[in-house]
Amino acid sequence: MSALYNAAAMHHGAARVGAKVLWGASLDELLDEVRRVEHSPAGARILDVPCGGGFAFRGVRPGQDCRYVAADISPDMLDRASGRADRFGLSGLMEFTQADVTDLPFPDNTFDLVLTFNGLH
């Protein structure tokens, strides 16, 4: 099931339909929000939870000066996200952590920005 979900989320045409049907949202609006990550100040600490297969990685620049933690409860999705980070040239920038969004293993105030796309459905 995660493979099917991931394929749909990463395929632009399928994601466009899914965004409209599932959330009543425009994929372009979601992608605009994702791209805001690239404008984070130097040294920003970013948590992406649940990261899924790396949907929000579209907003990260290779070599960006930030700490980017991609967290998901699913080991399969973390593997997919790690592969996507490699393909985007982001693997050295990212940390991958298995975590439940309802019980995060980070102290308060660890992150400057928390992303959550496609995780609340």
Q: Which two tokens stand for residue 88?
A: 């985007």
Torsion of CA 49, 5, 83, 41, to 10 degrees: -30
Q: Prior bond to 75 cis, omega within 30?
A: no
Asked if residue 7 has pLDDT above 90, the reply is no
Q: Using DSSP, how many helices (H) and how many strands (E) does the chain show? A: 4, 4
Give the pLDDT confidence of 18-77 residue by residue, as tens digits.
666 666 767 777 778 888 899 999 999 999 999 988 989 989 999 999 999 999 999 999
Taking the model in full, what pTM does it have? Answer: 0.80
Quote the CA–CA distance of 25 and 38 in Å, as a whole number.
22
Asked if residue 96 has pLDDT above 70, the reply is yes
The predicted model gives 107-113 an average pLDDT of 96
Looking at residue 117, what is its pLDDT? 79
